[in-house]
Structure 1
Amino acid sequence: MTSTRENQHPLISIIIPTLNEAGSITQTLDALAKISEPVEVIVVDGGSNDDTVQIVRQRKVKLIAAERGRGAQMDAGARGAQGEVLWFLHADSVPPGEAPQRIIESLRDARVVGGHFDVHFVGHSFSARFLCWFYRQLRRTGVCYGDSAIFVRREAYNQVGGFKPFPIFEDLDLVRRLRRRGRVARVSAAVKTSSRRFEGRSFFLTFARWNFLQVLYWLGIHPRTLGGLYAPIRNAGVCEAEPLRIEKQSG
């Protein structure tokens, strides 16, 4: 992997979008503080009205305010980052301690433009156990979402145009464009994350609707349209759905 600092690890910028994440951001930042490799932590807030911003300001991390929406927030973080590698992490996710080293190892292959981790949903509930199984099956098909802690070379990110300000599936959209530039690696180590968006309501109904939206996405329905359909089933997230408009994807 190309680095401007010979014999040193490249700087990894860890970008975390937040919106009312006071209940989870502390655990994530605590985990990142234990990383020994050179990293830059950037929290991009979309207008939290809880204690998220106050918690972040107590840490030695960079805080950016941005337009609400996960895609827009992560792109703002990327534009404000200094690292040669951009690593996008959800606020309710905790990466394995060896994650930076695994990223560096993956990117030593010049053909690799980026990658993602496995995901472990925390808890003993049926939904958490089922989602762990389901995500393992998805990984075998090459599908990955933002909660799998996507990382990418800065150069490749800029070349494909970065995250788009979509209310949903901004992660699938980015990875699809990255695959046109090179290989997207799968790191076998797992990020621990929450299954909260599936909790507190009928799991099977939520899961079925979520998968239905994915089918519509792969059929070409634009993420802005799907965001309006997703809003009723998303009980915790950083994106705000736009009015329902049927719009086909381009490209």
Structure 2
Amino acid sequence: MISIVIPALNAERTLVPTLAALVSGATEGIVSDVVLSDGGSSDETRMIADEAGCTIVTGPRGRGGQIRRGIEAAKGDWILVLHADTQLGDGWERDVATFIERERMRENGPRAAAFAFRLRETGWKAVLLERIVALRCLILALPYGDQGLLIPRSLYRQVGGYSDIPLMEDVDIVRKIGRSRLVMLRTPAETSAERYRRDGYFMRMLRNVTCLTLYFMRVSPQTISRLYG
């Protein structure tokens, strides 16, 4: 039913639990295939994916291009793009199946969906960030890539797919999809807090807001990547 596409680069530390969380979907017949799109890993990422039965595609580094290549290799009519450090919460396969079934009965055109944001960490900083992201999704309808993106192939083609850009590819495609065609699912997508611990919560949040502001000011993703990538 759905193909899962995972862009990855040196993701050996996080890939195993990400793949493990998908087993329930395969068992229930929701997942038809998993594609790992590698951007030149020098660790055991490809070996882990191969042992898990993933289809592996390789190419230049850059998440937008990696996702495009992964989707080209995927088999399903529905695509779920998932970061290599993001684990879907319990019951995700039921949430996805229900959404897809409702879409099949809907007559007003296809829609995409994203998951609720969760950090794999406890504490007030993590809770605050989760609430800020929930507010951003509510007001701006702007989930980021670490919340996953479930999209029918027909809509993916209609909006022109992911742009082959080094940064902001997630914001770019969500804007092309548009608020009226995007649904937020209840199941959480739990992502690694490593970047926030490493950079500091405030500095990481400031970086993200700065990148988003520059993007909306029409600064090219290539320039943003050179400054903040």
Runs of 4+ more than 3 Å apart: 109-112
Deviation at 1:206, TM superposition (A): 2.7
The answer to whether the Cα contact below 8 Å between 2:166 and 2:221 also exists between their aligned partners in 1 is: yes
Distance 2:199 2:115 in 1: 28
1:125 CA drift (Å): 4.4
Match of 2:18, SS state, is: helix
As a proportion of its length, which structure holds more helix? Answer: 2
Matched, 1:74 2:72: no
Which residue of the partner structure matches residue 50 of structure 1? 43
Consecutive unaligned residues in structure 2, runs of 5 or more: none
Q: Cα deviations across residues 144-195 of structure 1 (Å, max 9, x unaligned)?
A: 1101111101011012111111111101100111128x51111111111112
Task: Give the superposition deviation at 1:94.
Answer: 0.8
**Pairwise CA distance, 1:223:** 1.4
Give RMSD over aligned pairs: 1.6
Shift of 1:98: 2.5
DSSP 3-state at the match of 1:44: strand
Distance 2:4 2:75 in 1: 10
Long gaps (5+) in structure 1: 1-10, 232-251
Determine the C-alpha separation between the residues in 1 that align with 2:99 and 2:50: 32
Question: C-alpha offsets along residues 92-114 of structure 1, whole Å, 9 cap, x if unaligned?
Answer: 11112432332232242333421
| Aligned partners of 1:69 and 1:165 also within 8 Å | yes
SS at structure 2 position matched to 1:23? helix
Structure 2 length as normaliser, TM-score?
A: 0.90
Tell which deviates more after alignment, 51-60 or 149-158: 51-60
1:198 deviates by 1.9
Amino acid at match of 1:201: D
Q: Paired residues, what number? A: 220
Aligned equivalents of 2:99 and 2:181: distance in 1? 10
| Matching residue of 1:175 | 174
d(CA) in 2 for partners of 1:120, 1:203: 14
Correspondence for 1:222: 220
Q: What is the percentage of aligned positions where both structures have the same residue?
A: 29
1:38 corresponding residue in structure 2:
30
SS of the equivalent of 2:133 reads helix
